Amino acid sequence: MLDCGLDMTSTLNFLPLPLVQSPRLSNLPGWSLKDGNAFLDKELKECSGHVFVDSVPEFCLPETELIDLSTVDVILISNYHCMMALPYITEHTGFTGTVYATEPTVQIGRLLMEELVNFIERVPKAQSASLWKNKDIQRLLPSPLKDAVEVSTWRRCYTMQEVNSALSKIQLVGYSQKIELFGAVQVTPLSSGYALGSSNWIIQSHYEKVSYVSGSSLLTTHPQPMDQASLKNSDVLILTGLTQIPTANPDSMVGEFCSNLALTVRNGGNVLVPCYPSGVIYDLLECLYQYIDSAGLSSIPFYFISPVANSSLEFSQIFAEWLCHNKQTKVYLPEPPFPHAELIQTNKLKHYPSIHGDFSNDFRQPCVVFTGHPSLRFGDVVHFMELWGKSSLNTVIFTEPDFSYLEALAPYQPLAMKCIYCPIDTRLNFIQVSKLLKEVQPLHVVCPEQYTQPPPAQSHRMDLMVDCQPPAMSYRRAEVLALPFKRRYEKIEIMPELADSLVPMEIKPGISLATVSAVLHTKDNKHVLQPPPRPAQPTGGKKRKRASDDIPDCKVLKPLLSGSIPVDQFVQTLEKHGFSDIKVEDTAKGHIVLLQEAETLIQIEEDSTHIICDDDEVLRVRLRDLVLKFLQKF
Amino acid sequence: MDPECARLLPALCAVLADPRQPVADDTCLEKLLDWFKAVTGAGSSLLLLQEHPCLVELLFHVLKPQDLSSRILSFTLRLAGIFAAQENCFQFLQGDPSLFVASAAGQLLVRVLDLALRGPAEGHVCPQAWDWPACARKVVCHLEDCLRSEAAPRVTQALHVLTTTFGHCHGLWTQGLWARLSPLVARLLEKDPVPAPHALVDLLLSVARSSVLSSDPGLWETAAQALSRLSPTQAGPLAAGILKLQDCPQALRIQAFRILLQPLAHVLEAAAQGPGAPRLLEGAAGDLMAVDTFPPSRSACVGLLCSALAHLELLQPLPQRPSPWPQAPLLAAAVTILRFCNGSAAPSSEAGSRLCTMLVGCVRVQRAALDFLGVLSQGLGPQELVTQVFAILLEYLVSPDSSPTVLKKAFQATLRWLLSSATPPGCCDLEPYAQLVLGELLAVLQKRLCSPCWEVRDSGLEFLTQMTRRWGGQGSFRQALLGSEVPELTRQLLQDPESYVRASAVAAVGQLSSWGLLAAPSRPEHPDVPQKTPLEELLLVLTTDSEGFPRRAVMRVFTEWLRDGYADVAKDPEQSVAPVLQAASRDLDWEVRVQGLELALVFLEQLLGPLGPSTAAPPGALTQALQALCRVQLFEFALRSLFDCDRPVAQKSCDLLLFLKAKATPSGSQQEVGDGPNVASVEAALRRWQAGEQGQPLGELAPETVLAVLRSMDLEALRDTLAESSDHVERSPQSLLQDMLATVGVLGDNEADCY
């Protein structure tokens, strides 16, 4: 199984979970059907024309119907965003396999899960809505609730216990490490340049190679650069995890982010940045580190609020071997690789586990707050949205591309604060993909259907699709695809003593052949030729053995034949040896030489010759020897 | 030629003729040629050659086959060309055909051919081929061979020679040459592909520009043939060149204009959503070229569009530009190109999609199209198109994807469109639509002034300065600007880390405050602290900024303020100018010091009136003015500057003192000799300054002393000395000859050492 991401966009259908009692949210009117029927008004609330489920947010799990997940042997994780559904898989499906991931992936993935669990668990909600999921009722609901897919499979968030159990099933791997899977294939993680520890995977046998390219980046940000060279010579390249906003250039977006941030703060407003506790935030802090002094913002406090803020900032500094070259060299100076260390030291950046406690004492405005969750449905961000939403001086800047910012904002309407959308997605765009594919030259590319056509809203943008030759094979949800290669060869090892006994004969310059008699031993998808057992000593018993009991290697070895029989010459030879009345017939597969007088047939085909005579052994042997004259023996 | 040079020349000629004494430096030879050009320009070449037989010897010496370096050979041939440019002098060369036989190929031959073609008796009535000197006939035969050759380099070489020939020689004989060679040139155009297309275009343009040849109807036929045979990219420069000609057949102009319009017409066709869309080229030709003539590769397509846009941009302001000028479709095309580039065009055709893929995000095309769009603001356009122009300009200004250079162009184009949209023309008020745009513009500007990219902040400030200069007094602009954060942000940018931005912020602050648009900064946290006036803020920049650009900008602003009577300065000019002059006089940047003297000059003019026919100032006013000047310590600054190590400062100071002298001592007035104040101590100080001891202060000066010092100084002589460039000694021909001989001497010594 390649990755197991969690679809969190389902949470956008739910009301936010406020940290502090919110009169506005608790007083939202219940929703009733057009005919006035209000039986759902406890479960569904209406806000500015949108309907939300008033319940603990639920997540959409990976497809579980298509295959029995208990039969999955291995899960390969490519980055920490792509493992958020792991506890659902490992704890509730009978999964007994192994999960492979790099160390930063596991550590930061744990932080993301921990934050998620914390966000949800610290605001217990008494009510759990389920009536609306009834298919007959769902049909009556307004969009987008009406169109939500597989709502019956939506699940509440996992617990920390489940997270720990899931993570214990992960085996840590390093870049370029070769991992044997049951002898059948070898898998290798490669740096993908997208996040700390993010990987692409190579799955290869001796004769076939499949590359799995997930979230990858060619930009120079903090992680180790993408390893492209190792992706060469792939039979199939599975391409996923491209940028979600192909029209937004990350550099331009960072510029836009800084400009809007400065403009707001200079006007005395506050800036709210809903974000994950790891990833782009490191780069944003680095940009701000360079920018704030020049923009005259040195006196503005930056707050990073997350239950895992401290761990995230510290972890980033210790994963030196997973960082880009520049940052790695800093470690040897020794300096912290990320400049946020200095921001913290100089008190420009302060971090808190939550808005409760120290933060409320230190809080000074105007300020910039980085906090989660980017969906705006849970986490400390909900509090700041409620707090700052009423003033047009304040600005919320969306940098994470995972959620539609308009949908995220829907339960906060009407909203006076300014909203800026600067999605920073450093993953590959289509120009980079076509360069990559030209460089790597896989025989076949397999990718989601969405990548093979321009985005629906910009159907003329032919530049916003994967363009390769031969055209990419595309797949859609729940589609079963046969990858375009066949396993034709297997590698077989020969034991040294057997190899010693071989006597090759050169049949063509540069090509030698040898006959082998051996026992093929197959275990764990490994094949070994071993020397045959020694012939049994003659027992001297009186009882004759049946021929079929003879072990084959006790027989006298017959020579192997090669070459072809030129029919004309063969006929001449026959005539020389006294055969007359010879007739040759052409058949589909070769020739039949008919010795009419002797009532004998010689059937000559590409790979066989048959002499059919009427119980005349002497004649057969004579003819056989004539045939053999034309063939080589070894 | 001065005698010293004449003395050195024989030795130099001997050195040049000696292959054992290589001249190491090509630039020496170039300088020498320049000097000979100047010398022959001033007098007769014949006389020069007669007076300096060494030159003739050098020329003849070079003609002999020997092992001379090609640079000396080339130098000598060019020298011969310079002499030969004067008809009466050509006798020294002409009779020696061995020159052409001896030097057979390559670059050298080309130079020689050029030389020979320039020579033949100028002014005769179009000599026939059989009248040409033998060497000229050889040259022409050689050129003919080249033009018939299948080898592209030979063709190119011949075309280059002809281009130079027709470009420089306008004798009637060129008609004969062209008549003989033009069939061969026309034949080149029949080949597929056409060889040496760029050289061919150059040749045709050179012929077309020749006053002697442009009357040949065959020329225009060849040009028309070239336009149709060459690819659009190759034909573009020819078409543009033809359209710039004052006089050429109308049909050819139409054909040439079509070539330039084609790429833009294609863009319009590709973007057209249906019938009725604006078209540049009507009729079948417009449809025909739609898809297939546009280059398939991205770089070729981009190159073609950019060159078409650049050619049209240059044509637009010319009086001989094609008429009628298709202003509206061109505007539509420019807007459409910009839409393709930012991905906002939504073409339905396949050609459109292809174009979109090629152009999206292309910075080169964006810049070219924005430049062109800016130039188009000179013409009118239908209102709906003007609306589209402002809309696309705003899109570019708003878009985070606009690169800094594109953004700068967008700002420039926007300013041009705003300027052109004043109603009625000449009125300073913005038209209603532009006023609507203004609000959005200022919002964008606000954001751009906070950009992390300094180029963006800089071009934003420049745009603001120019807008304010134009509309600072206009009600709707003032209202919109004061309602925005822009003035406050501008003030904050005086502290920008980038010096260019600080300089631009200084200019913007100067402009804003002269219109009273810089409100006092709001400091809610310190309401009691008195706010700095713009004047104080700029003075702070002048005295504390570590970079030259912002300080120079401050000086320009102060000068402008004083000249234009900016209220804060005008209420007490002396008080305002004094600290500025003091700071400027101590500045390490010479441009700041020059600007300081310029400010002083404006101050003087305001005190004493401008320099005019009635030069002298009334005595009372003069005394008052001199006292004021002494108080602001202008004299010490000016006198010190006379000996500034940077010449422009000294010159400016000299001008200033001469102005003052003219004001103080009217012509015809008696000079007070003897009984004036003692100026000895001042003169002693001046001498020390001249000697480089700048530390010595001048002390308090009385107006009378100043006048006496001015009278005693020969400022006119000083001005003449300063007018000569500081390296006038080093640049003299004498120095050049000496240097060359000295270098050779050194080489000779080394050679001797080796033995």
Q: What is the pLDDT of residues B98-126, one digit of tens each?
A: 333 222 233 444 455 455 555 544 444 45
- Tell me which DSSP letter residue A60 carries: B
Chain A partners within 8 Å of B399 (Cβ): 252
A550 pLDDT higher than 50: no
First CA to last CA across chain A, in angstroms? Answer: 50
Q: B611-615, B655-659, B710-714: which has the minimum mean pLDDT?
A: B611-615
What whole-number percentage of chain A has pLDDT above 70? 96
Q: Which of A419-423, B100-104, B278-282, B716-720 has the highest mean pLDDT?
A: A419-423
Confidence of residue A42 (pLDDT cuts 50, 70, 90): confident
Question: How far is the C-alpha of A90 from the C-alpha of B557, rounded, in Å?
Answer: 72
Q: What is the pLDDT of residues B151-203, one digit of tens each?
A: 887 888 788 878 877 877 776 777 878 888 899 999 999 988 899 899 999 99
pLDDT reported for residue A108: 95
Confidence of residue A173 (pLDDT cuts 50, 70, 90): very high
Q: B68-72, B472-476, B542-546: which has the minimum mean pLDDT?
A: B68-72
B274 pLDDT higher than 80: no
Cβ of B451 and A258 within 8 Å? yes
pLDDT reported for residue B289: 47
A253: part of which helix (H) or strand (E)?
A: helix A250-266
Cβ contacts of B468 within 8 Å, gap of 6 or more: B477, B481, B508, B511, B512, B515, B517
Q: Is B460 on the interface with A (CB under 8 A)?
A: no
Write the residue in B356, B488, B489 that is nearest to A460 by C-beta.
B356
Name the pTM for this structure.
Answer: 0.79
Average pLDDT over residues B436-448: 91
Cβ of B485 and A263 within 8 Å? yes
pLDDT reported for residue B92: 37
Q: Is A255 on the interface with B (CB under 8 A)?
A: yes
Chain B partners within 8 Å of A458 (Cβ): 343, 346
Write the residue in B353, B488, B496 that is nearest to A294 by C-beta.
B496
Lookup: tokens for B438: 């203004």
Q: SS3 letters for A61-105?
A: CCCCCCCCHHHCCEEECCCHHHHCCHHHHHHHCCCCCEEEEEHHH
Phi then psi for residue B317, to 5 deg, are: -80, -5
The CA-atom distances, in angstroms, between A232 and each of A186, A223, A492, A574, B674 are 16, 22, 25, 58, 98
**How distant is the Cα of A71 from the closest Cα of chain B, in angstroms?**
45
User: Rounded mean pLDDT of chain B?
Assistant: 80
Taking CA–CA distances from B484, the nearest residue in chain A reads A267
Question: How far is the C-alpha of A201 from the C-alpha of A180, rounded, in Å?
Answer: 13
Q: Is B497 on the interface with A (CB under 8 A)?
A: yes
Handedness of CA A317, A322, A324, A329 (dihedral sign): positive
Q: What is the pLDDT of residues A551-600, one digit of tens each?
A: 444 455 677 788 888 899 999 999 898 888 889 999 888 899 998 887 88
Three-state secondary structure call for residue B631: helix
B748 pLDDT higher than 60: no
Cβ of A256 and B495 within 8 Å? no
Handedness of CA A66, A70, A74, A79 (dihedral sign): positive
Q: What is the pLDDT of residues B216-264, one digit of tens each?
A: 888 999 999 999 999 889 999 999 999 999 888 999 999 999 999 999 9
Question: How far is the C-alpha of A246 from the C-alpha of A233, rounded, in Å?
Answer: 27
Bond from prior residue into B275 cis (ω within 30 degrees of 0): no
Cβ contacts of A287 within 8 Å, gap of 6 or more: A254, A257, A258, B452
Q: Taking Cα atoms as reference points, which of A145, A137, A146 lies closest to residue A54?
A: A145
CB distance A55 to A127 below 8 Å: yes
Phi then psi for residue A199, to 5 deg, are: -135, 150
pLDDT reported for residue B290: 46
Question: How far is the C-alpha of A91 from the C-alpha of A85, rounded, in Å?
Answer: 10
Chain A partners within 8 Å of B456 (Cβ): 255
Cβ of B452 and A253 within 8 Å? no
ipTM of predicted assembly, 2 dp = 0.76
Cα A266–Cα B447–Cα A283 angle in degrees, nearest 5: 80
Q: What is the pLDDT of residues B520-541, one digit of tens each?
A: 655 555 555 567 888 999 999 9
Q: A217-221, B292-296, B315-319, B715-719: which has the minimum mean pLDDT?
A: B292-296
Three-state secondary structure call for residue A398: strand
Q: A562-576, B415-429, B571-585, B627-641: which has the minimum mean pLDDT?
A: B415-429
Cβ contacts of A493 within 8 Å, gap of 6 or more: A526, A527, A528, A529
A522: part of which helix (H) or strand (E)?
A: strand A519-523
Q: Taking Cα atoms as reference points, which of A150, A3, A65 lies closest to residue A480?
A: A65
Write the residue in A248, A252, A263 that is nearest to B446 by C-beta.
A263
pLDDT reported for residue B624: 82
Confidence of residue B94 (pLDDT cuts 50, 70, 90): very low
Handedness of CA A212, A217, A222, A224 (dihedral sign): positive
User: What single-letter amino acid sits at A95?
Assistant: F
Phi-psi category of residue B162: left, alpha or beta, with phi > 0 → left and psi -120 to 50 → alpha: alpha
**How distant is the Cα of B139 from the closest Cα of chain A, in angstroms?**
53
Q: Is B458 on the interface with A (CB under 8 A)?
A: no
pLDDT reported for residue B524: 52
A74 pLDDT higher than 50: yes
A333 pLDDT higher than 60: yes
A366 vs B678: which has the higher pLDDT: A366
Chain B partners within 8 Å of A288 (Cβ): none
**How distant is the Cα of A431 from the closest Cα of chain B, in angstroms?**
11
Q: What is the number of CB-based contacts under 8 A between chain A and chain B?
A: 70
Question: How far is the C-alpha of A454 from the C-alpha of A460, rounded, in Å?
Answer: 7
Phi then psi for residue B504, to 5 deg, are: -65, -35
Cα A96–Cα A100–Cα A101 angle in degrees, nearest 5: 140
pLDDT reported for residue A537: 65
A162 vs B10: which has the higher pLDDT: A162
CB distance A224 to A233 below 8 Å: no
Q: What is the pLDDT of residues B184-198, one digit of tens each?
A: 999 999 988 899 899
- Tell me which DSSP letter residue A225 carries: P
Q: What is the pLDDT of residues A488-521, one digit of tens each?
A: 888 999 999 999 989 888 888 899 888 888 999 9
Pick among A257, A261, A263 to test the B interface (most B CBs inside 10 A): A263
Write the residue in B401, B450, B498 that is nearest to A259 by C-beta.
B450
CB distance B29 to B75 below 8 Å: yes
Question: How far is the C-alpha of A597 from the C-alpha of A615, rounded, in Å?
Answer: 15
B129 pLDDT higher than 90: no
Bond from prior residue into A527 cis (ω within 30 degrees of 0): no
Q: Taking Cα atoms as reference points, which of A523, A528, A521 lies closest to residue A492?
A: A528
Write the residue in A249, A259, A267 that is nearest to B485 by C-beta.
A267
A159 pLDDT higher than 50: yes
User: What's the count of helices (H) and strands (E) in chain B, helices before strands?
Assistant: 38, 0
Question: How far is the C-alpha of B238 from the C-alpha of B208, rounded, in Å?
Answer: 10
Phi-psi category of residue A376: left, alpha or beta, with phi > 0 → left and psi -120 to 50 → alpha: left
Pick among B448, B450, B502 to test the A interface (most A CBs inside 10 A): B450
Cβ of B345 and A293 within 8 Å? no
Residues 263-322, chain A, touching B (beta carbon < 8 A): 263, 266-267, 287, 290-291, 293-296
Pick among A245, A259, A299, A465 to test the B interface (most B CBs inside 10 A): A259
pLDDT reported for residue B288: 44
Cβ contacts of A30 within 8 Å, gap of 6 or more: A38, A40, A41, A42, A44, A45, A46
B712 pLDDT higher than 50: yes
Pick among A249, A253, A460, A466 to test the B interface (most B CBs inside 10 A): A460
Taking CA–CA distances from A423, the nearest residue in chain B reads B400
Taking CA–CA distances from B347, the nearest residue in chain A reads A460
**How distant is the Cα of B356 from the closest Cα of chain A, in angstroms?**
7
pLDDT reported for residue A305: 97
User: Rounded mean pLDDT of chain A?
Assistant: 90
Q: Taking Cα atoms as reference points, which of A286, A427, A294, A298 lies closest to residue A370?
A: A286
CB distance A112 to A81 below 8 Å: yes
B276 vs B426: which has the higher pLDDT: B276
Confidence of residue B97 (pLDDT cuts 50, 70, 90): very low
Q: What is the pLDDT of residues B16-41, one digit of tens each?
A: 877 777 665 677 777 888 888 888 77
Three-state secondary structure call for residue A604: strand
B302 pLDDT higher than 60: yes
The CA-atom distances, in angstroms, between B301 and each of B340, B350, B436 are 13, 16, 36
Cβ of B451 and A252 within 8 Å? no
Q: Is B496 on the interface with A (CB under 8 A)?
A: yes
Write the residue in B345, B346, B489 that is nearest to A266 by C-beta.
B489
